[in-house]
Chain A
């Protein structure tokens, strides 16, 4: 019984990883933009657009990789629109983000219907048009070993390649942020853009590079949604994940590893709520799945209000830079 419970827990962790992958990619995307001082509530729109373009191109061309590349390109275009409005024209970053979310909602369905005439969906993708799980070496050999065997099979191996990509992106983000010239300048520009400017570095170009990176990561997240986790695009398939990722960025205090943990926590809540649905838990009663799904938002509000922990956003966030 206990080992059955442990096994179920392990499987829930496994599901957590799958559910958290788009959150992780989106949240890393958010870190770049927000660390450079640009609020990005358009993670949601970019995620949606990425998912749509990935599935569409994969479906039309039959190549999942081409789909992913085009997804990235489309998200970079959206990011550049955001940058054009917020950096070049010093527009309101929230308004611009909202506009992009609306554009993404409208464009994906409009173009989807025009292309496929399937109510805004893409046709279901075949196996060659999707990213597939990757089985690692020695899975069967290790199966015999207790504890390690199941962990290796369920938790470590047999994930989609983009799951691994997402996990790799966390240290990549951290390295980029903390070990490179670009990262140093990026962190500085979100705090004191004047310092970067007075050090002879262009604030504008730096911020553009940051939003481009945001687009890049969002594109991957979108591709995961429609061509790895799913098998095709359905309208509004991002379903608020971009906002959860934003919440994770805030919750993780704009730092890659804590943000990863926040994503995993939020992913775990979702995975667990899926599995606990309709199940009576001793003492608690029926699992409060709505509460579990709303918990990321509630926790973020409490954090922002300073009731739990402390949130320290980049100092210059939201303010257009003007000499």
Chain B
């Protein structure tokens, strides 16, 4: 099936692939060529459409339109089985491993070699041995998955993907959960695969990995491919800029900040995820009244966890957070309600998961988090008229359209949903505002409106902590900028000193700037 190198038919060729989920267009006219025997990177922010694309390629989803060719042949994949038959293997972001089964059983799954397991087992053991010899991927066949470290689990995923002689291997965010050492081991394996003629597609948002291992790279943004580069011809900074885009052009003159007292102080914060991975380590900074403190970084480098810790939504292991003089420590935590009562407002990163209850109408969402306030009722009861009045006021003040408090939140456009969340959180005249991704999935008109509001709030003396993956947004709004990478802070810059290139390289975790 593999032609000689001379024929040079692309291992994979996608032409104008489109895929929508309901109203959400996950992939728009995606075209991609992957040369055989290369390691091809695909980078992009969360939600850029990378995983959808790969699932289309793996037959898990069917594209709405577009063409796909494998080794020059046009193919139609109806299921994963078709993809497997064409020699495509995939390692998913979330491991497809059954944790209470053994390594051997997991590897056999789907290719048991007969109705009884016995003969298949022997064969699979041979395969495991061969792969261990060829690629140095040694595993204990009888170990139960649950007992194995993440790195080994991923190795098993790779074994599963290539055991049947796959010529194309797709890896979706393979290093997201790996330690640096484990990631290095993974790269060795990938190189060995490449030497054996396997084409590798590597999806990641970690730029250093792209630079370290790929031959070529495609950048995705908002469901589209925004650039193809040969790795040797590009730089992390360029990729970072491509990823986070430059379509957000800030026309607002933000004027100079007038910082006052420190309202929010984070000291030596450390936090581990429920899976035991260190997601924040040694984070320290402070935010003053009247300033916007921006946190730059590619998504998934600890920003989410940082916001959640400050908002009282996540337990943490060490350090402290001081909000308006009240100190939270792991031993003395506060609930989100207690923190909100301190007049700390929180615009969450993901409005669909946290900021809104989509099935509730706009009224109901207008008081989410403030439903215990005396403004919206007395005693145990909610005063519907007061809520409706409040919602109407929010909607007209913040230009939420349509201005219908009885319309369910899911029926508003993304921009108007976000305006509603921002309206709710800023209307209380907060002392501290923590904001995550304020303009993600928001149309251009609304972006400007939202930016103006944040600045007005700053000028009114609010301390704003802003997390955004949009580099231009961070640069355009922030007075000071902290860059995060891998759960650590890479440095804090005055926005006057923060050029795109400098931030880009810091975001890629490459250079660490001196802390002013």
A residues near B (Cβ < 8 Å) are 179-185, 187-188, 191-192, 194-202, 312, 315, 323
CB contact between A187 and one of B84, B94, B96, B98 (< 8 Å): that residue = B98
Contact status A200-B96, CB under 8 Å: no
Contact status B100-A184, CB under 8 Å: no
CB distance from B107 to the nearest CB of A (A): 10
Contact status B115-A184, CB under 8 Å: no
Q: What sequence of 0s and 1s flags, for each residue 100-114 of chain B, a beta carbon within 8 Å of any chain A beta carbon?
A: 110001101111101
Given known A188-B109, A200-B79, A200-B110, contact A181–B96 (CB-CB < 8 A): no
C-alpha spacing A199/B85, complex, angstroms:
11
Selected A-B contacts with CB under 8 Å, 17 pairs: A179-B116, A180-B115, A181-B114, A181-B116, A184-B108, A185-B109, A187-B105, A191-B98, A191-B99, A192-B99, A198-B60, A198-B96, A199-B109, A199-B160, A200-B81, A201-B81, A323-B61
List A contacts of B61 (CB < 8 A).
323
List A contacts of B83 (CB < 8 A).
200
CB contact between B109 and one of A179, A195, A315, A323 (< 8 Å): that residue = A195
Q: A192-B99, A199-B109 are in contact. List 15 more A-B contacts (CB 8 A).
A: A180-B115, A180-B116, A181-B115, A187-B98, A187-B101, A192-B96, A194-B92, A196-B109, A198-B90, A198-B92, A198-B96, A200-B80, A200-B81, A200-B82, A201-B110
Contact status A196-B115, CB under 8 Å: no
B residues near A (Cβ < 8 Å) are 58, 60-61, 79-85, 90, 92, 94, 96-101, 105-106, 108-112, 114-118, 120, 160
Q: Nearest CB to that of B117 among chain A residues? A: A179
Given known A191-B99, A201-B81, A312-B100, contact A196–B110 (CB-CB < 8 A): yes
List B contacts of A191 (CB < 8 A).
98-101
C-alpha spacing A183/B115, complex, angstroms:
9
C-alpha spacing A200/B120, complex, angstroms:
17
Q: Interface residues of B: mostly helix, strand, loop or mixed? A: loop
List A contacts of B90 (CB < 8 A).
198
CB distance from A213 to the nearest CB of B (A): 15
CB contact between A323 and one of B60, B108, B112, B117 (< 8 Å): that residue = B60
List A contacts of B105 (CB < 8 A).
184, 187-188
Q: Nearest CB to that of A190 among chain B residues? A: B98
List A contacts of B79 (CB < 8 A).
200, 202
List A contacts of B99 (CB < 8 A).
191-192, 315
C-alpha spacing A69/B146, complex, angstroms:
42
Given known A197-B60, A323-B61, contact A192–B97 (CB-CB < 8 A): yes
Contact status A180-B110, CB under 8 Å: no
Q: For the complex of A and B, list the 10 residue pairs with the smallest distance between their C-beta atoms, beginning with the closest.
A: A199-B110, A200-B81, A195-B96, A181-B112, A191-B98, A200-B80, A188-B98, A200-B84, A199-B109, A198-B96
CB distance from B448 to the nearest CB of A (A): 38
C-alpha spacing A181/B119, complex, angstroms:
11
List B contacts of A200 (CB < 8 A).
79-85, 110
Most buried by A among B85, B101, B120: B101
List A contacts of B106 (CB < 8 A).
188, 195
Contact status B115-A198, CB under 8 Å: no
C-alpha spacing A195/B96, complex, angstroms:
4
List A contacts of B100 (CB < 8 A).
191, 312
List A contacts of B81 (CB < 8 A).
200-201
Most buried by B among A180, A195, A197, A198: A198
Given known A184-B105, A187-B98, contact A198–B58 (CB-CB < 8 A): yes
Q: Nearest CB to that of B62 among chain A residues? A: A323
C-alpha spacing A191/B85, complex, angstroms:
25
CB contact between B101 and one of A179, A188, A201 (< 8 Å): that residue = A188
Q: Nearest CB to that of A200 among chain B residues? A: B81
CB distance from A133 to the nearest CB of B (A): 35
C-alpha spacing A206/B126, complex, angstroms:
28
List B contacts of A188 (CB < 8 A).
98, 101, 105-106, 109
CB distance from A152 to the nearest CB of B (A): 34
CB distance from B133 to the nearest CB of A (A): 24
List A contacts of B82 (CB < 8 A).
200
List A contacts of B101 (CB < 8 A).
184, 187-188, 191
Contact status A184-B112, CB under 8 Å: yes
C-alpha spacing A162/B514, complex, angstroms:
80
C-alpha spacing A272/B457, complex, angstroms:
75
Q: Nearest CB to that of B82 among chain A residues? A: A200
C-alpha spacing A94/B150, complex, angstroms:
35
Contact status B115-A199, CB under 8 Å: no
CB distance from A294 to the nearest CB of B (A): 31
Given known A195-B109, A199-B109, contact A184–B117 (CB-CB < 8 A): yes
List A contacts of B97 (CB < 8 A).
192, 195
